[in-house]
A and B are shown apart, each in its own frame.
Chain A
Amino acid sequence: MSLAAEAFVSQMAAAEPWPENATLYQPLKDDQILLSDHASSLSVQAYLRMCGLPVQVVCRANAEYMSPSGQWCRNWALGYFAGHSLSDALDDVQRAEMKAYMELVYNMLLSAELYLQWCDDATAVEISRPRYSSPYSWPLGKILAYQKQWEVRRKMNAIGWGGKTLEQVYEDVSQCCQALSQRLGTQPYFFNKQYVFCLPSCPCCLYGHVAAMADRLLKSNLTYFLNQQRDYLACLKLIHQRKAGHCCGVCKT
């Protein structure tokens, strides 16, 4: 969960020019990375690319442990965003609103991702545990995967998600998406059109989480859930187009 997005925070104070060799470390893409990490990684990449900041993505099996604070890119995204001079473009109300939406995304979508990964037994057994333990040799991989699962389950219990069923979680996600669709309405941007590229962190974190989730859910034959979210998918497509237009199609789904 803790992507080493901070790897480049250490190389960069908000006021300093963006370093040329900024690198994002993420778990191994083919064998190891899980939905939630993938989502976080996509969020950061989308944000940076829409800002026009070059970043190189490197896969490391120990990416999770490389961040000294154990925090992940959320804090980084907000921090950098706040320090960015372009954030003046929004007024206070809009900024607060945007923060609220970002919180919604993080609290709801990220928790749902974690729930699906570790609390749903079928997914945990078939996907999460084998993938999480893949870089390690026996019996370390098993120990680490169980440790992780236990940790996440404890966290889920703490936020009151422990007793939820899979259907309830889908329902929550669905509501969250509806809220976002409503905010979006028929306009193509979440906030001021003019500044969509200046302040894209909200759509980007959304993009990351929703795209990653859509990807995985489609694979799990859970398309019914997304079919209900047509508006939202339309929004996603827009972000895709914008991204593609702006940064030469660096992100593909």
Chain B
Amino acid sequence: MGTVHARSLDPLPMHGPELGVQADDIEAPEIEQQPRQEVLENKDVVVQRVHIDGLGRTKEDLLSYEIAEVFRAKNLIDVMRRSHEARQKLLRLGIFRKVEVVIDTSRGEDALPNGLDVTFEVTELRRLTGSYNTMVGNNEGSMVLGLKLPNALGRAEKLTFQFSYGTKETSYGLSFFKPQPGNFERNVSVNAYKVTGQFPWSSLRETDRGVSTELSFPLWKTNQTLKWEGVWRELGSLGQTASFAIREESGHSLKSSLSHAMVIDTRNSSILPRKGGLLKIHQELAGYTGGDASFLKEDFEIQLNKSLIWDSVLSGSLWGGLLLPIGDKPTCIADRFYLGGPTSIRGFSMYSMGPQSEGDYLGGEAYWAGGLHLYTPLPFRPGRGGFGDLFRTHFFLNAGNLCNLNYGEGPRAHLKKLAECIRWSYGLGIVLRLGNIARLELNYCIPMGVQSGDRICDGFQFGAGIRFL
């Protein structure tokens, strides 16, 4: 009888939402050449048993969904392919540090001549993992402590706690995440948090204490999220010089909202995609489940990418949003939209356009913004195939507008208002991709269509962020 060792094919393809597995947590398997003693490739085989070795806290029933497909394999190649898929599924649960697959011929009394046993040798992550970071930004330094129970109850539930202690503000959050066994994309999460933010462009300080519950599930080609959020918001002015409009907004409010988000993402990468598109629609209804704030908020994001010659990519995106107050109360500054900055309309200062009072930006109830980029590799392509591939040069053209609407006037007047006084800018710069979550940009911008009151950033502008126009 022959022995075949099958090992996985590639190190670790990771997809899907935040799975909690850091690339460092998982060791890349070495490819070993094992001498074959018999060619089994075309023989029909039966997978008789699947073993999982190394389980401690993990409940077996969770894994049986993930490995069920292995039993359906009909020949050796199939066994290897399905085992590989099962391995990927196991890794995606985010509870194993390492998963190895061993395929062997069946032994024992009831062993069939063409029977195979598949063994998954897994190494679980530690019961409790911790992290420690320091961050500097927004004129503030902070220390972030994180604690995570990656497999809290044995069925890939994750309990995460993050605490950020800053020179000015302290924030923390606790979140519990539970996937449906056998269907990782379908999951529930519950969060409780306190976040404090300072927004110097509005001379505003906001402290949010809230709880939220989220349900995510795939539907056809989309990913849907339903969410309820209850937030106690405390607004205050930042310093003595805040304008009176900001001081009028100060105080406490309670927002209870139901929201729905739909995402279709066919891009090959979320930061510097070469092809594919993104459609994101988000809607939020506040006030029907209690709370002081009542509004309907709609916004969308579209991005399309097209590859051109010489590895260059043409990318176009469009954002838009509308905030409708319900009832007599005007909208709250914390709910309105903001525009401008190195990651939206470049050439303008961060969130510094549109309605304002004594230099404090108040945000708008309607906005749109569009961007057109031509990404090319660096000139002369230094560091090609390595470090240089993290960089791109880009030429961009951004445009947009942010304003308040008088809802009595009708759609024609609204469109007219959004179409007049358009802010736009163009320029070029360098983009650096940071992992697959964020990017840095250094741009030379030329702002145009500047309206009185807008704060511009003529010339070089540096920005970092995770959402880009």
Contacts and interface: CB of A to CB of B under 8 A. Distances in A.
B244 A10 contact: yes
Given A61-B251, A68-B237, A137 B292 contact: yes
Contact of B250 (A66, A136, A139, A143): A66
Most buried by B among A64, A67, A136, A138: A136
A69 B240 contact: yes
B239 interface: yes
A68 B251 contact: no
B342 interface: no
Interface in A47-82: 60-62, 64-69
Contacts of B236: 65, 68
Range, interface on chain A: 10 to 19
B252 interface: yes
A124 B231 CA distance: 26
Contacts of B254: 136-137, 139-140
A144 interface: yes
A87 B228 CA distance: 59
Contacts of A136: 252-254, 292
A62 B246 CA distance: 12
A68 B291 contact: no
A68 B292 contact: no
Contact of B242 (A61, A68, A138): A68
B54 interface: no
A66 B250 CA distance: 6
Given A65-B252, A68-B242, A7 B292 contact: no
B232 interface: yes
Nearest to B234: A65
B209 to A, nearest CB: 9
B247 interface: yes
Contact of A144 (B250, B252, B291): B252
A10 B124 CA distance: 62
Contacts of A10: 244
Contact of B239 (A68, A138, A139, A143): A68
Nearest to B239: A68
A143 B233 CA distance: 13
Nearest to A4: B247
A61 B251 CA distance: 9
Nearest to A139: B254
Contact of B244 (A7, A69, A139, A144): A7
A106 to B, nearest CB: 23
B56 interface: no
A7 B237 CA distance: 13
A4 B235 CA distance: 15
B252 A68 contact: no
Contacts of A61: 251
B449 interface: no
Contacts of A62: 248, 250-252
A20 B392 CA distance: 59
A66 B292 contact: no
B291 to A, nearest CB: 6
Interface residues of B, number: 18
A143 B291 contact: no
B248 A68 contact: no
A60 B329 CA distance: 13
A64 B292 CA distance: 18
B247 A68 contact: yes
Contacts of A4: 247
A119 to B, nearest CB: 23
Nearest to A60: B248
Contact of A140 (B237, B248, B250, B292): B292
Interface string B315-351: 0000000000000000000000000000000000000
Contacts of A66: 247-248, 250-251
Interface string B202-218: 00000000000000000
B290 interface: yes
Most buried by B among A7, A65, A139, A144: A65
Contacts of A7: 244, 247
Most buried by B among A7, A62, A139: A62
A64 B237 CA distance: 13
A62 B333 CA distance: 14
A63 to B, nearest CB: 9
Interface in B261-307: 290-292
A69 B252 CA distance: 16
Most buried by A among B237, B251, B291: B251
B247 A143 contact: no
Given A137-B292, A140-B292, A65 B250 contact: yes
Nearest to A140: B254
A151 to B, nearest CB: 14
Contacts of A60: 248
A3 B250 CA distance: 13
A191 B244 CA distance: 37
B237 A143 contact: no
Contacts of B240: 68-69
B348 to A, nearest CB: 27
B456 to A, nearest CB: 28
A137 B239 CA distance: 28
Q: State the 10 A-B residue pairs at the shortest beta-carbon distance, nearest first.
A: A62-B251, A65-B251, A65-B250, A140-B254, A68-B237, A66-B247, A68-B240, A137-B292, A137-B254, A66-B250
Interface of B: 232, 235-237, 239-240, 242, 244, 247-248, 250-254, 290-292
26 contacts: A4-B247, A7-B244, A7-B247, A10-B244, A61-B251, A62-B248, A62-B250, A62-B251, A62-B252, A65-B236, A65-B250, A65-B251, A66-B250, A67-B247, A68-B239, A68-B242, A68-B250, A69-B240, A136-B252, A136-B253, A137-B290, A139-B254, A140-B232, A140-B252, A140-B292, A144-B252
Given A68-B239, A138-B290, 11 more contacts: A10-B244, A65-B235, A65-B250, A65-B251, A66-B250, A68-B237, A68-B247, A136-B254, A137-B254, A137-B290, A144-B252
